[in-house]
């Protein structure tokens, strides 16, 4: 297994810069997810690591060895694509064995490794079946098997679950994570689905316009988004971003929102700006009669255990996640109160988070 | 708009019965969602109503009129497909106007302009009318595809997973918009999906479909709170409902024919104690919510963690059930529990 270090990696397609001077490290044995909207540069980065795309500039160190301009076949990396292509005329055993046959591995070793891989994926009882007779999930496991059997230094996966049903996707997400726990292979995984990223990753790199906006554990990124983009991209529904005008100084413990005084974590930074954005997750908002920050209920979305309530306020729409058994009427006037210790503040102009006692980290560039 | 009635509707492909005797009445102005996994027969049902497939049995009426033998054009339905198929060489305006210029129902150009304008307004794409279809984002293209159905005023809109190719953020925006548009137009919609969130948030009623059969129909709240089988209980709710053998968490209050006890977050009372029947294994941060994973003896259960929870892995907890759901050995709901 391997550590992957990316240094000043850049890729331009004509005038378009797909990846801008990226520098980051994928630790050995970690499950590393690159997350972002389409066109953010995540797949291009992955393809450069794989050797399917040559960088315009920069280094890709695979266990200290710069492979940026080496052929894909010389990198000892396995790539798993979104649509799994199996050889329909071969059975499961031959499909999994195929990469080893191509490498000229001795037959006895091939058998051993295929069996071992099949056991790992819990498809050893299917080895002699035709792949065309397999259910979707098993086909996917066979495709994974073909990658694992090579024992590469790292796995690269490009939205491997993108084409699946929601339910089946949840199941495969869990299986992928368990598989990773068993074999601890360095894995770089690209997706635009933040829920998938949250449940799979040891580390997430959130990308936008060719730049990594934040790199951290799923919880760091969720609790302390470094930029407005990250705050808006992660979470479903997304973090409420409530613009306000005022002053945010070192030592402040409150901000003023439409005359209401809102408690926030103690600010540890002084900003000369006057335009800010308050970030509040829907689950950190409750209704309270004596709050001065008020609005009118615009609509509710029933989700079973919880409901998402959309409230129209003087500062725009605010979404709160409440228990589903709280009775609410559209048009009702309600006061909103915030769980102060969990709020974020951003500078509107540059989109960066203001440092507070609960939000000490600086944005990662 | 009109009501739609399916009576014993059946469709076979060779040995497979894709739609197996479906009975369903969709009311005028109703948003009805068929929820089921791939291969359950959802899309085939839509295609039967549209007239794209011919039924092997049963009848189908739209607005009180038997349509079983009619061709697609005579049925007055509008179909929105999963993959938006726009004419790439046409502008958004011309894409939207296309159905109104078809020889079958050609409208005068000034009326076309009015209708396209209204629909574009409704879908918030008025500023893009002169763009080529290829110059739109994914969400805009899907809105145009929906718009092409909306410019007509058919008896019913048939929608086949129209949001599934979009990313999560757009999906949640369009969910709200589609519901708003349906209410503003008073449209009748039959909407097919495998996504429980879409079903819960948009439907007036949900029909849960499995292996070609409709197995429960009800409002989202009815289906969620009152599932009649283990199968239905597992379709709605995130995290999925916990199912434990009877006796693991109950203190004798459970009737003898109960084999399985089902419970969700709202059926659970969890308190930290010195020594309890449960152990906190881990807390999973999923982005929209946190899942609390507990171990009870040899069993694992998952529940929603409160955003303010101070439980930590390794904590001992006392787990108690309040009014859980009971199921028999065949997976059927056991409704009344004797005192």
- Residues B265-299 have pLDDT tens digits of 999 999 999 998 999 998 887 777 789 999 999 99
Residues of A in contact with B38 (CB under 8 A): 165, 168
pLDDT at A163: 65
- ipTM > 0.85 for the complex: no
Q: How does residue B95 score in pLDDT terms, banded at 50, 70 and 90?
A: very high
Contact B285, A218 (CB under 8 A): yes
Are residues B230 and B249 part of one domain?
no
State the count of interchain CB pairs (< 8 A) between A and B.
Answer: 86
Contacts of B220 in chain A (CB under 8 A): 302, 304
Q: Is residue B188 situated within a structural domain?
A: yes
Shared domain for B36 and B179, answered yes or no, is yes
Give the model's pLDDT for residue B170: 73
Question: Quick one: B175 and B289 in the same domain?
Answer: no
Instruction: Name the region of B209 (left: φ>0; alpha: ψ -120 to 50; beta: rest).
Output: beta
User: What pLDDT shows up at residue A363?
Assistant: 42
Is B86 among the domain residues?
yes
Instruction: Specify the pTM.
Output: 0.81
Residue B339, domain member (yes or no) = no
**Nearest chain B CA: its distance from A281 CA (Å):** 9
**B112 shares a domain with B20:** yes
Residues of B in contact with A190 (CB under 8 A): none
Q: Do B181 and B98 reside in the same domain of the chain?
A: yes
Cα distances from B34 to residues B6, B149, B215, B235, in angstroms, run: 13, 19, 11, 12
Looking at the structure, do residues B285 and B177 belong to the same domain, yes or no? no
| Whole-number Å distance between alpha carbons of A314 and A311 | 10
Show which of B234, B259, B292 is a domain's final residue. Answer: B234
Query: Up-side HSE of residue A140: CA atoms within 13 Å toward CB?
Result: 19
Last residue of a domain, one of B177, B200, B234: B234
Q: Using CB atoms, pick whichever of A37, A192, A235 lies closest to residue B288.
A: A235
Residues B77 and B222 in one domain: yes
Asked if B194's CB is within 8 angstroms of A166's CB, the reply is: yes
- pLDDT single digits (tens) A195-225: 889 989 999 999 999 999 999 999 899 999 9
Nearest-Cα residue of chain A relative to residue B264 = A305
Segments forming the whole domain that contains residue B318: 242-334
A234 touches chain B (CB under 8 A): yes
Nearest-neighbour CA in chain A from B225: distance (Å) = 8
CATH number, domain with residue B326: 2.40.50.140
Q: Containing H/E element for B213?
A: strand B213-218
Query: CATH number of the domain that B128 lies in?
Result: 3.40.50.300
A233 contacts on B by Cβ (under 8 Å):
169
pLDDT tens for chain A, 365 residues: list them: 689 999 999 999 999 999 999 999 999 999 999 999 888 999 999 999 999 999 999 999 999 999 999 998 889 898 887 666 788 889 999 999 999 999 899 999 999 999 999 988 888 999 999 988 887 778 888 888 898 898 898 999 988 887 666 777 777 888 888 889 888 899 999 998 888 899 899 999 999 999 999 999 998 999 999 999 999 999 888 899 999 998 888 999 999 887 889 999 999 988 888 999 999 999 999 999 988 899 999 888 999 999 999 999 999 999 999 999 889 988 999 999 999 999 999 999 999 999 998 876 654 43
Contact B287 A198 (CB under 8 A): yes
Whole-angstrom distance, CA of residue A101 vs CA of residue A312: 63
B227 and B253 both lie in a single domain: no
In a domain, B255, yes or no: yes
Q: Which domains does chain A have, with CATH numbers?
A: 4-223 (3.40.50.300), 238-347 (2.40.50.140)
What is the widest separation between alpha-carbon atoms in chain A? 77
B89 and B48 in a single domain? The answer is: yes
For chain B, what is the domain count? 2
User: Which residues, in sequence order, are CB contacts of B239 under 8 Å at separation 6+?
Assistant: B265, B291, B302, B303, B304
Last residue of a domain, one of B209, B234, B259: B234
- Is there a single domain that holds both residue B78 and residue B222? yes
pLDDT for position A364: 42
Q: Mean per-residue pLDDT for B43-60? A: 94
Angle (deg, nearest 10), helices A92-103 and A107-120 = 130
- With respect to residue B74, please indicate whether it lies within any of the assigned structural domains: yes
Edge-first strand listing for the sheet containing B278-285: B268-272, B316-321, B278-285, B290-296, B299-305
Q: Check whether residue B213 and residue B69 sit in a common domain.
A: yes
Kindly list the residues from chain A whose CB atom is less than 8 angstroms away from the CB atom of residue B286.
195, 198-199
Whether residue B137 sits in one domain with residue B37: yes
């Amino acid at each position: 297994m391997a550590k992957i270090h990316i240094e000043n990696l850049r890729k331009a397609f004509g005038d378009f810069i797909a990846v801008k001077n990226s520098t980051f490290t994928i630790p050995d044995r970690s499950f590393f997810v690159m997350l972002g909207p389409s066109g953010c540069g995540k797949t291009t980065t992955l393809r450069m690591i794989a050797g399917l795309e040559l960088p315009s500039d920069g280094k890709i160190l695979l266990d200290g060895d710069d492979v940026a301009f080496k052929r894909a076949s010389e990198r000892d990396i396995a790539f798993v694509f979104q649509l799994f292509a199996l050889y329909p005329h071969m059975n499961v055993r031959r499909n999994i064995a195929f990469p080893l046959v191509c490498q000229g591995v001795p037959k006895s070793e091939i058998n051993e490794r295929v069996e071992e891989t099949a056991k790992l994926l819990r498809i050893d009882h299917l080895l002699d079946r035709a792949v065309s007779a397999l259910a979707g999930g098993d086909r996917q496991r066979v495709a994974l098997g073909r990658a694992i059997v090579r024992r590469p230094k790292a796995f690269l996966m490009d939205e491997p679950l993108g084409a699946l049903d929601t339910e089946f996707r949840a199941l495969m997400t869990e299986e992928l994570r368990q598989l990773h726990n068993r074999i601890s292979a360095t894995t770089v995984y690209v997706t635009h689905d933040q829920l998938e990223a949250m449940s799979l990753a040891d580390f997430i790199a959130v990308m936008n316009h060719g730049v990594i906006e934040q790199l951290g554990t799923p919880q760091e990124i969720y609790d302390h988004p470094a930029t407005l983009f990250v705050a808006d991209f992660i979470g479903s529904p997304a973090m409420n971003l409530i613009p306000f005008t005022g002053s945010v100084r070192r030592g402040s413990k409150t901000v003023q929102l439409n005359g209401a005084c809102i408690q926030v974590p103690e600010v540890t930074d002084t900003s000369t700006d006057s335009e800010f954005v308050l970030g509040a997750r829907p689950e950190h908002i409750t209704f309270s009669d004596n709050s001065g920050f008020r609005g009118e209920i615009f609509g509710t979305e029933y989700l079973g255990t919880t409901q998402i309530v959309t409230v129209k306020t003087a500062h725009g729409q605010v979404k709160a996640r409440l228990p589903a058994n709280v009775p609410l009427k559209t048009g009702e006037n309600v006061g909103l109160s915030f769980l102060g210790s969990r709020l974020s503040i951003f500078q509107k102009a540059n989109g960066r988070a203001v440092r507070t006692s609960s939000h000490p980290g600086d944005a990662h560039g | 708009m009109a009501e739609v009635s399916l009576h014993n509707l059946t469709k076979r492909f060779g040995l497979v019965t894709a739609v197996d005797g479906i009975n369903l009445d969709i009311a005028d102005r109703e948003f009805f969602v068929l929820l089921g996994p791939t291969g359950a027969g959802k899309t085939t049902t839509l295609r039967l109503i549209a007239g794209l497939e011919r039924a092997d049995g049963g009848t189908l009426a739209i607005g009180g009129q038997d349509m079983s033998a009619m061709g697609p054009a005579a049925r007055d339905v509008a179909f929105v497909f999963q993959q938006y198929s726009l004419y790439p060489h046409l502008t958004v305006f011309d894409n939207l106007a296309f159905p109104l210029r078809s020889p079958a129902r050609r409208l005068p150009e000034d009326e076309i302009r009015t209708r396209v304008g209204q629909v574009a307004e409704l879908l918030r794409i008025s500023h893009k009318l002169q763009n080529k279809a290829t110059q739109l984002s994914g969400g805009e293209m899907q809105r145009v595809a929906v718009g092409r159905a909306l410019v007509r005023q058919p008896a019913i809109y048939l929608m086949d997973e129209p949001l599934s190719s979009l990313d999560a953020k757009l999906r949640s925006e369009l969910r709200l918009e589609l519901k708003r548009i349906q209410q503003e137009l008073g449209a009748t919609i039959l909407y097919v999906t495998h996504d429980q969130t879409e079903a819960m948030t948009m439907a007036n009623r949900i029909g849960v479909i499995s292996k070609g059969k409709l197995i429960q129909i009800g409002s989202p709240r009815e289906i969620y709170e009152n599932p009649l089988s283990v199968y239905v209980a597992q379709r709605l709710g995130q995290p999925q409902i916990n199912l434990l053998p009877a006796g693991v968490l109950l203190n004798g209050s459970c009737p003898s024919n109960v084999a399985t006890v089902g419970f969700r977050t709202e059926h659970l009372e969890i308190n930290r104690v010195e020594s309890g029947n449960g152990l906190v294994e881990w807390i999973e941060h999923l982005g929209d919510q946190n899942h609390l994973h507990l171990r009870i003896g040899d069993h694992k259960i998952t529940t929603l963690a409160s955003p303010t929870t101070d439980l930590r892995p390794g904590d001992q907890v006392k787990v108690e059930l309040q009014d859980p759901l009971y199921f028999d050995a065949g997976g059927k709901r056991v409704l009344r529990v004797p005192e």
